[in-house]
Structure 1
Amino acid sequence: MLQFDPQKLSERENYKLLIGSVIPRPVAIVTTLSENEQLNIAPFSYFSIISTQPAIVSIAVQRKENQMKDTARNILAGKAAVIHILDSDNVKDANQTAASLLPEESELSVSNFTTSASSKVAVPSLNEAKVRFETILYQHIPIHHLEKVTADLFLLEIKHYAIDEAIYQEGRIDAGKLAAISRLAGSSYATIGDIFEMERPT
């Protein structure tokens, strides 16, 4: 086995090892509102479930040149976000939202996403997503390295689910119909492959 000390690796070297190993990663398409009501849309693969009671998910937003990204600033200011699951129908538009835009520009201008009012939060939802979580800020955890904040970890409490009825059956999400897309490394993505069953031991 090759051995590496993360403290001796550059940020880029750590990044490559992590995103190449922790795969596949689910992707959250996050909508937030700026203080002047500008809609921001951004995809994040540093995304996971934290708790089911209360229902909490997490996203980690890396800082760029020590500056907080629009999504992080907006969540801190507005205390709300809508999390959408990346799927085969919205992946191309989600990829377009990763373009570098000015804070006053909305990613709606570079994608075909359309929006509608959410039920419990002021942030609009994307119509093209089959799964949407309307969330409020539960906790913000700055991640420090060498006396600098390098990332912002957000724990977001789900206050409302919006699920496409076509993928919902008897209290469960049909994975095949959702057709979620996951993130790998570089420019690579993956669809859900073979699904198999394995019973846990008693």
Structure 2
Amino acid sequence: MQSINPMELSAKENYYILTGSIIPRPVAFVTTLSKEGVINGAPFSYFSIVASDPPMVSISVQRSDGNMKDTARNAIDMKEFVVHISDESYIHKINETAKELPYNESEIEYTGLTSVPSTVVAVPGVKEASIRMECVMEKYIPLGATEENPACELLIGRIVQYHIHDELFQEGRIDPKKLLPVSRLAGNNYEKLGEIFELKRPK
């Protein structure tokens, strides 16, 4: 077994190890609204649950060449965003939104996704998602490098409204076989839902 000091590796080398090891990762498709009213949409696989009481999720938005990405800037400015769970039905359009567009252009319009009004927040969601979560900003934390030049913005959103397709939601539970979630592996590789098995926790 190799023992490697991450401080001796480049950012790209660390990225390859992390994204190849921490798999599969759920993909959050996040919409935000700019101050000018432009709807931004982008996928993020540095995404997880923070808490259930109150319900909160986290999204780490990595900087690009030291510059804050539109998702982080808009979420911080407006203090709200919408998280969508990626699934097989619209993953190709989600992938298209990863293209870097000018700040004043909407990835939603570019890809032909359908915007829908939210119930609590001002940020629209997209109709194609089977599950979406309206979030208000609980906290954001710049992390890495220095405080003046962080490597990422960690966004923690408190969920204020769920939208879930009826066919997925039975007796308070989500049916993963009907959701058909898509997860991220390394490089350009993604994964569909595979074999499901049960392990009961020891008492």
Alignment TM-score > 0.5, same fold: yes
- Determine the C-alpha separation between the residues in 2 that align with 1:145 and 1:175: 38
| SS across alignment from 2:139 | strand
- Determine the C-alpha separation between the residues in 2 that align with 1:107 and 1:171: 33
Q: How many residue pairs were aligned?
A: 202
Tell me what 2:165 maps to.
Answer: 164
Amino acid at match of 1:25: R
| SS across alignment from 1:92 | helix
Tell me what 1:99 maps to.
Answer: 99
Pairs within 5 Å for 1:54-133: 54-133=54-133
Tell me what 2:199 maps to.
Answer: 198
- Determine the C-alpha separation between the residues in 1 that align with 2:6 and 2:199: 34
Tell me what 2:155 maps to.
Answer: 154
When normalised by structure 1's length, the TM-score is 0.98
Amino acid at match of 1:19: T
Tell me what 1:184 maps to.
Answer: 185
- Determine the C-alpha separation between the residues in 1 that align with 2:198 and 2:75: 38
| SS across alignment from 1:118 | coil
Amino acid at match of 1:91: I
| 1:95-145 CA distance string (max 9 Å, x none) | 010001000000023312101110010000100000000000000100021
RMSD across aligned positions (CA): 0.8
| SS across alignment from 1:64 | coil
| SS across alignment from 2:150 | strand
Pairs within 5 Å for 1:12-31: 12-31=12-31
Superposed displacement of residue 66, structure 1: 1.2
Unaligned regions of 5+ residues in structure 2, if any?
A: none
- Determine the C-alpha separation between the residues in 1 that align with 2:108 and 2:200: 44
Unaligned regions of 5+ residues in structure 1, if any?
A: none
Q: Would the alpha carbon gap of residues 110 and 171 (structure 1) be closer, same or farther in structure 2, given more than 3 Å must change?
A: same
Tell me what 1:173 maps to.
Answer: 174
| 1:69-117 CA distance string (max 9 Å, x none) | 0000000100000000000001011001000100000002331210111
Tell me what 1:48 maps to.
Answer: 48
- Determine the C-alpha separation between the residues in 2 that align with 1:176 and 1:112: 26
When normalised by structure 2's length, the TM-score is 0.98
% same residue: 46
- Determine the C-alpha separation between the residues in 2 that align with 1:55 and 1:177: 23
Q: Is the 8 A contact 2:108 2:115 kept in 1?
A: no
Superposed displacement of residue 65, structure 1: 1.4
- Determine the C-alpha separation between the residues in 1 that align with 2:81 and 2:127: 15
Superposed displacement of residue 146, structure 1: 5.0
